[in-house]
Amino acid sequence: MTVEGKRILRSRDELEQSAAALEALYQCCASYMVYRLKREPESPLLAKVEVVSPSIKTILGASDPNDLSTWFAAIHPDDQEKLMKSHRACFHHGVPFDEVLRVRDGEAIRYVHVISHPILDEDGEALYYNGLVVDVTERTLAQREAARLRDQLEHAQRWEAVGALASSIAHDFNNLLQGILGTTLLLKPEIVKEDLQEFQKEMKILVERGSRMTRDLLAFAGSTGGELESRDIRESIHRVARLVRSMFGELELLVIFKTDLPNLLLDDALFEQALLNLCVNAAHASDEEGSVTLWVDCLTAERVNELTGFEVSDSFVDICVQDRGCGIEKEHLELIFEHFFTTKPAGKGTGLGLAAVKRAAGEHGGFIHVDSTPGEGSSFHFFIPASFTEASPPLEEEQVPPALSAGEKILLVDDEPSLRLVLSRLLTKEGFKVEAVASCSEALTALKTTQKPFNLLITDLVMPGPDGLELLRQVRSLYPSLPVLVATGDIGTRHLHEIHNQGKSGFLAKPFGTEQFYEALRLL
């Protein structure tokens, strides 16, 4: 073969290779469409097609690729308004066009991502619009399927968490109910007065434990939170220590105050519940035996920064609960304060305790820091800002006289028969005359038909039909000066603002005793 023939053959091979490369490139770009529009303000669509790739037929299914109106006609009717709005903004204001739109493909729907950039002249006037259209149907459907599966997973996780929570709560409440039932079985006429007082004390402790459980749940829901008052923190710590020692007889709990402490701004109940949660966790980590140390110190900002690695500028009181138990794995340290996260066996924990601790620290303007080594134990530091204030003096008995006196008349509204009976007896025993009804309508009837006006209305919050808030509104319009106490086991704060804005009205959290009742009356 001549040199010229070889050159022709090589050229033919190169052309075939180039053609194959172009064909591969075309196949690769079959889901892409490029175009160039020329600005024509007098045109109905403000432009005409100058260049467009052949893939427009597969991507948009336009009947005439050179007619811009057929591009618009291919878009789903529900996306036409969005398309025109973005299109005109691009042409009139030079705003880049960037939208995902639906395209009709027979009975099916496809998705395209449309991008258009204006090309400006020296005066800033748009001359051309270079654009790209990409078929993103598979990606969009995959994202939607992933979102659907993610929602299903989150739903399943929520139900799993609720199941674990329900199991743990059922276990704990059954223990409480058994304790209450066992105590009531011992209340016989022949028991001596000292025994009766002891049984009453035990029942009160059981009720308070149940109340703390509901506070834990509401803390998880972000529903609780009281006012901070200047307190001697040692009193709260000693109360918690006594309770922990009674709960875990084989556990040694050491309490150490390293220095004189300032009074702190505390919500007693919230702080004590958080501290109790930390002590219980420490006891469980120690298999409920051995020793746990609870030490308290006042640290300077520099010492806090050194201990925690945080940057603070004030002094803090550090309440530290330290155990020598199993410790916490490194990968769990960032998760332990998440709701429902727990490493305890089924039925032994809900994963709410440490979440409530973290929230309590935040409510006090503080924070939590944890040091832990697997196999050696953990130290939970509960930091509260030091507050050098004088403690509020306790109120003496004569400073809190009841708003009502014996013989005055109370209207009690509650849909639960057993609660109406118990509360009626409690109030009657204190010398009040009580009329109890089960609903809002019955209460309004009693108010309108009574021979002697009522001196106080106590109503439940959550009831079938009109609730306690609706009753309060109606009573306030009919009897503006009648004191009203809204009493409920829902101790969240979402209704408090409206209750306190309804004239002479107050809030009473269940369960309550006579002391809480009189305090609520005093605040009316």
How far apart (Å, rounded) are the C-alpha atoms in residues 106 and 365? 61
Same domain? For 303 and 160 the reply is no
Total count of residues recorded for the chain: 524
Secondary structure of residue 168 in the 3-state scheme: helix
Is residue 146 one of the residues assigned to a domain?
yes
Same domain? For 96 and 38 the reply is yes
> What would the pLDDT profile of 317-372 be if each residue is shown by its tens digit?
999 999 988 887 776 666 666 644 455 544 444 344 577 788 888 888 888 888 88
Q: Among 135, 169, 188, where does a domain finish?
A: 135
Q: Among 355, 385, 415, where does a domain finish?
A: 385
Same domain? For 92 and 161 the reply is no
Question: Which residues of the chain fall below pLDDT 50?
Answer: 3, 6, 219-224, 339-341, 345-352, 389-402, 491-493
Q: Which residue is associated with the tokens 């509960």?
A: 382
Q: How many structural domains compose the chain?
A: 5
Same domain? For 347 and 237 the reply is yes
Is residue 474 one of the residues assigned to a domain?
yes
Identify the DSSP state of 453. -
Secondary structure of residue 163 in the 3-state scheme: helix
pTM here is 0.39
Same domain? For 107 and 205 the reply is no
Parallel/antiparallel/unpaired status of strands 290-299 and 316-323: antiparallel
How far apart (Å, rounded) are the C-alpha atoms in residues 363 and 402? 31
- Model pLDDT, residue 381: 92
How far apart (Å, rounded) are the C-alpha atoms in residues 242 and 115? 70
Same domain? For 261 and 177 the reply is no
| Nearest Cα residue to 90 out of 111, 114, 107 | 114
Is residue 446 one of the residues assigned to a domain?
yes
Is residue 507 one of the residues assigned to a domain?
yes
Residue 20 has phi, psi (to 5 degrees) of -65, -40
Residue 474 structure tokens: 């109606």
The one-letter amino acid code at 211 reads: S
Same domain? For 513 and 410 the reply is yes
The Cα-based distances of 246 to 184, 239, 280, 303 in angstroms read 21, 11, 12, 34
Same domain? For 294 and 201 the reply is no
From the DSSP assignment, how many helices (H) and strands (E) are in the chain? 16, 17
Is residue 391 one of the residues assigned to a domain?
no
Q: Judge contact between 341 and 389, C-beta under 8 A.
A: no
Same domain? For 264 and 193 the reply is no
How far apart (Å, rounded) are the C-alpha atoms in residues 507 and 500? 8
The answer to whether the Cα torsion of 205, 206, 207, 209 is positive or negative is: positive
- Model pLDDT, residue 487: 82
Q: What is the CATH number of the domain that holds 477?
A: 3.40.50.2300
Rounded (10°) angle between helices 193-220 and 137-185: 170
The Cα-based distances of 47 to 39, 109, 134, 248, 500 in angstroms read 4, 27, 21, 82, 65
Specify the DSSP element, H or E, that contains 5: helix 3-28
Burial pattern 295-321, b for ≥16 Cβ within 10 A else e, equals ebbbbeeeebeebbeeebeebbbbbbb
Is residue 390 one of the residues assigned to a domain?
no
Same domain? For 21 and 38 the reply is no
Q: Among 320, 354, 385, where does a domain finish?
A: 385
- Model pLDDT, residue 27: 57
Is residue 395 one of the residues assigned to a domain?
no
Burial class (CB in 10 A: 0-12, 13-18, 19+), 390: exposed
Angle at alpha carbon of residue 97, lines to 93 and 102, rounded to 5°: 140
Same domain? For 129 and 239 the reply is no
Q: What is the CATH number of the domain that holds 361?
A: 3.30.565.10
- Model pLDDT, residue 398: 34
- Which residues form the domain of 287? 225-385
Is residue 70 one of the residues assigned to a domain?
yes
- Model pLDDT, residue 233: 85
The Cα-based distances of 517 to 321, 418, 427 in angstroms read 35, 19, 9
DSSP 402-452: -SS-TT-EEEEE-S-HHHHHHHHHHHHHTT-EEEEESSHHHHHHHHHH-SS
What sections of 221-298 are H helices per DSSP?
233-247, 268-285
| Nearest Cα residue to 385 out of 291, 298, 514, 491 | 298
Same domain? For 182 and 241 the reply is no
